[in-house]
Structure 1
Amino acid sequence: MDRIRIRGGNRLNGEIHISGAKNAALPLMIASLLTDDTLTLRNVPRLADVTLLMRILGNHGVDISVDGKRAGTNGIQGDTMHLTARTIVDTTAPYEMVSRMRASFWVLGPLLARCGEARVSLPGGCAIGTRPVDMHIQALQALGAEVEIDKGYIVAKAKKGLKGDRITFEKVSVGATHAALMSAVLAHGETVIENAAREPEIGDVADCLIKMGALIEGLGTSTLRVQGRDRLHGATHEVLPDRIETGTYAMAVAMAGGDVHLLGARADLVGNVINVMEQAGVSMSPTNQGLRVSRNGAGLKPVSVTTEPYPGFPTDLQAQFMALMTRAEGTATITETIFENRFMHVQELARLGADIRLRGDSAEVHGVTRLRGAEVMATDLRASVSLVIAGLVAEGDTMVHRVYHLDRGFERLEKKLGACGAEIERLAS
């Protein structure tokens, strides 16, 4: 099992290319199930989750080809992927695949909408909370599907097709919004989705669906109106830049100090993060090519945050920000409202010398003057990168184990940081 070793103390200077958003690329790939034409996606990140989803979609009969798979490819730009679901050969998504990645559960809606039936294993993924699928099921039932749970599988049927209706979510859910949206585009009649998630990745998927012939109104709002179509056609779409990767590298620069240009980053996707970082004493300035992040000399100021659905502070940056606040000159309180088990990185940060005290759904972070390198264990995707951020300033060597979590969501992380001056390397098992 690979490990990553970081020797702290180096400032970061240079350029980092921001990859395509994982949280958009995965549902965009799944959208290929909605048409028998070819869907071409550009700027797809090279991640373990993408590779796994390719296998899952292939199991359903999707033919997938990727441009640029040849020696000498520089890897700066994402892949161009062509997905063709000419014929759905299997409407079952098996446990051994779905259990490894939660987002693969989202094939349920498109398979049901196109084929009238689907059998999908209950999901797995990072161990950061139960994340029930009740709202996914309720959305499909609102569209007329018959749904039951049988031996760990969701079995859904709509032999006469789905029918548009009103879906009102009791709370904001990105996954349930994806499920409702990708089901409604092939339903008969109009579907109104209320209390829909407003994350940019939802809008990116909706933009792609519109290119495929879907009729969707209300993008960027909490109410989406979808006029169902008999079929969708092929399209070409570019995946938007990853706002979580943008925020992560911004926090890495803030932690280590220096000046880094995040190429391809979009300020409009990380407005709340920019506000928080500027309060902490970090400069984030939009440029014609992305965002420039710098911290030169000044100490970090403590800033308290609460994770919220977009446009609030994202839960996917909570662990990274906690790592940053371990070096703030004072005390910051970080409150997690999205996932109940998302403080598992606290005990690992403590191994590096962090002073963090848990109080229910909040973590009280008392800044320390220094961290010390140690052996630490990644527990989930975002927690793993928080340990890397802390390692950038820890005295001596920090060894991060279980970095397969990192590979699920960060493309070439050690190379990107290394190119900017970090002393970081991957050690093969």
Structure 2
Amino acid sequence: MEKFIISGGKKLFGSVKVHSSKNAILPILAASIITEDNIYLHDIPMLEDIKIMIEILRHCGCEVRNTDETLVISPNVVNNDINIDIVNKLRASILLLGSMLARCNKVILGMPGGCNIGTRPIDLHIKGLSKLGAEIKLNQGYIEAKVKKLKGEKIYLDFPSVGATENIMIAAVLAEGETIIENAATEPEVVCLANFLSSMGAKIYGAGTDTIRILGVNKLKSASFTPIPDRIEAGTYMVMAAVCGGEIEITNVVIEHIRPIIAKFKECNIKVVEGENTIKVFSTDKIKPTDIKTLPYPGFPTDMQAPMMSLLTVAKGTSMVIETIFENRFLHVGELLKMGANIKLEGRVAIVEGVKRLTSAKLEAKDLRGGAALVIAALMADGTTEIEGIEHISRGYFEFEKNILSLGGDIKRIV
């Protein structure tokens, strides 16, 4: 089992470039099969989750070539039976439900997997696709879906689910007539998918608002597209800069996408300087406490809750963190306690009393963002920390230790 060995207390200086967003790339990959023409995707980091999605596409018959961080996808779909083991390693595999219905009119799909951060039901996906005319049957361990012809419909989502919004949008672009998604997710990744689909000839209006209108077309064409920068990767390096001494410039960012994170940094007395597509963060030893409540965009992102909690463990006072999206997203708390953090859990609320310093310990990453939080904590802690379970981290951060080393951190991957 691979692990990180991190010697803390090193000040971090320099610049780091954010990669394209994993959470934007995965739905784009799923949507790439609804055309018969080649798709060209640029600046694609080969993260574990992306590799899994590519493997699934190849299983379906697609040819996927990778040259200089550009993926060339030839979507020759010949196999609509995707009840295979790798599907349950990836939550985003559920997005193939909409794309395969649009392309093949039927699909058998294994149940999706991903991090164990709480219940992530697929009921809204099924509700939306069923409204478009699909017949969907849940079996033991897999989903069976078919449709004679997708037809546009008005769909109201009980919760602004990012995945459900994306799945419905992918299917609806080839549906007959007009589809309206009400209470749609407004996340930047949803807008990015809409822009990708539009570049293929789809007619989508209102992405980024809570009402998305889609006019179905008969066919989509080839496209060349670069996904948006990863706002969670940017936020993770921002936290790293704030707590590790020194200063870090983070490039290739969309400032508006990280506005909720910037707001919390200012509340915490952390200096940030915004550029056109860069942000510079200056460390401080006078971090003020703040309260965080995770919410759908443009609220504070649930994916940044764990990294921010590492920061709040050394704030001068008491902070409250409320997790409203996933009920099991405090798996990192027990590990932070091993390092001397003072955190009390009450259901979905964490009360964080700041301490002067964290100390090294032997830790285990139990999910992706919690794993990143432990790396941040280890970088600022006294002594040498060992983190196991880093395969979770590799799912979402490309060349993580390489970037940390370039900033002056002391981190080694042990295989």
Provide the TM-score with structure 1 as the length reference: 0.95
State the Cα distance separating 1:150 from its structure 2 match. Answer: 2.1
Write out per-residue CA displacement over residues 120-165 of structure 1, whole angstroms, 9 at most, x where no aligned residue: 1111110011200000000111001111112221111112x10000
Give the Cα separation in 1 of the matches to 2:266 and 2:129.
42
Using the TM superposition, give the Cα deviation of residue 268 of structure 1 relative to its aligned residue in structure 2, in angstroms: 1.1
Determine the structure 2 residue equivalent to 1:241. Answer: 229
Matches within 5 A, 1:61-210: 61-68=61-68, 79-85=69-75, 87-159=76-148, 161-210=149-198
Native 8 Å contact 1:326 1:368 kept in 2: yes
Q: CA deviation at 1:278?
A: 1.1
Instruction: Check conservation: 1:281, 1:298, Cα contact below 8 A.
Output: no
1:349-397 Cα offsets, whole Å, 9 max, x none, are 1011111000111000010011110100000000001000000111100
The 8 Å contact of residues 184 and 191 in structure 1, kept in 2 or not, is answered as: yes
Q: Verify the 8 A CA contact 1:12 1:259 in the aligned structure 2.
A: yes
Instruction: Indicate yes or no: 2:17 matched with 1:17.
Output: yes
Tell me, in whole angstroms, the C-alpha distance in 1 between the residues paired with 2:138 and 2:383: 51
**Whole-angstrom CA distance in 2 between matches of 1:289 and 1:32:** 28
Runs of 4+ in 1 over 6 A off after TM superposition: none
Matches within 5 A, 1:26-41: 26-41=26-41
Aligned residues: 415
Aligned-partner Cα distance in 2 for 1:266–1:416: 20
| In structure 2, C-alpha distance between the alignment counterparts of 1:289 and 1:187, rounded to whole Å | 37
Q: Secondary structure at the match of 1:99?
A: helix
1:217 aligned residue: 205
Aligned positions of 1:393-404 closer than 5 A: 393-404=380-391
DSSP-derived class of the 2:65 partner: strand
What is residue 423 of structure 1 aligned with on the other side? Answer: 410
Alpha-carbon deviation of 1:286? 1.7
Structure 2 counterpart of 1:251, one-letter code: V
SS of corresponding position for 2:136: strand
Quote the Cα distance in structure 2 between the aligned partners of 1:285 and 1:41. Answer: 31
Which amino acid is 1:426 matched to?
Answer: R
Q: Are 1:346 and 2:333 matched, yes or no?
A: yes
Q: Secondary structure at the match of 2:287?
A: coil
Cα deviation for residue 257 of structure 1 reads 2.0
Amino acid at match of 2:256: D
User: Whole-Å Cα distance in 2 between the matches of residues 144 and 289 of structure 1?
Assistant: 43
Aligned equivalent of 1:375: 362
Q: What TM-score do the two structures reach when normalised by structure 2?
A: 0.99
Q: Measure how far apart 1:288 and its partner are.
A: 3.8
Partner of residue 316, structure 2: 329
Gaps of 5+ in 2: none
Q: Contact (CA 8 Å) 1:172, 1:309: kept in 2 or not?
A: yes
The residue identity in structure 1 corresponding to 2:234 is T
For the residues of structure 1 that align with 2:240 and 2:233, how far apart are their CA atoms? 10
CA-CA distance at 1:271 after TM superposition? 0.5
Q: How far is 1:238 from its partner?
A: 0.4
**Distance (whole Å) between structure 1 residues aligned to residue 392 and residue 383 of structure 2:** 23
After TM superposition, give the deviation of residue 291 of structure 1 in Å: 1.1
The CA deviation at 1:258 is 1.4
Instruction: For 1:365, give the aligned amino acid.
Output: V
State the shift of 1:15 in Å: 0.6
Q: CA deviation at 1:56?
A: 0.4
Report the residue type matching 1:103 in the other structure. A
CA distance in 1, matches of 2:273, 2:380: 23
Please give the secondary structure, in 2, of the residue aligned with 1:30: helix
Amino acid at match of 1:42: H
Number of the residue aligned with 1:414: 401
Query: What amino acid sits opposite 1:84 in the alignment?
Result: S
- Do the aligned partners of 2:107 and 2:146 also contact (CA within 8 Å) in 1? yes
Segments of 5+ residues of structure 1 without an aligned counterpart are 69-78
AA of the residue aligned to 1:8: G
Q: Give the Cα separation in 2 of the matches to 1:336 and 1:100.
A: 24
**Which residue matches 2:49?**
49
Give the aligned partner of residue 373 of structure 2: 386
Q: Secondary structure at the match of 1:342?
A: coil
Q: Is the contact between residue 95 and residue 122 of structure 1 (CA under 8 Å) also seen in structure 2?
A: no
> What aligned pairs does 1:348-367 form with structure 2 within 5 A after superposition?
348-367=335-354
Q: What is the rounded CA distance, in whole Å, between the counterparts of 1:46 and 1:303 in structure 2?
A: 35
Letter in 1 for 2:338: R
Contact 2:255-2:277 at 8 Å conserved across structures = no
1:139–1:167 Cα contact (<8 Å) kept: yes
**How far has the Cα of 1:289 moved from its partner?**
4.6
Paired AA for residue 246 in structure 1 = A
How far off its partner does 1:94 sit?
2.0
Structure 2 letter corresponding to 1:80: T
Secondary structure at the aligned position of 1:16 is classed as strand
The answer to whether the 8 Å contact 1:316/1:382 transfers is: yes
Letter in structure 2 aligned against 1:47: L
Identity %: 41
SS in structure 2 of the partner of residue 46 of structure 1: coil
Aligned to 1:320: 307
C-alpha contact 1:317 1:382 (8 A) present in aligned 2: yes
Tell me, yes or no, if the aligned pair for 2:320 and 2:351 is still in contact at 8 Å.
yes
Cα distance between partner residues in 2 of 1:61 and 1:284: 47
Contact 2:2 2:413 in 1 (8 A): yes
Measure the CA separation in 2 of the matches of 1:42 and 1:282.
Answer: 34
Letter in 2 for 1:272: P
User: How many angstroms apart in 2 are the aligned matches of 1:49 and 1:220?
Assistant: 25
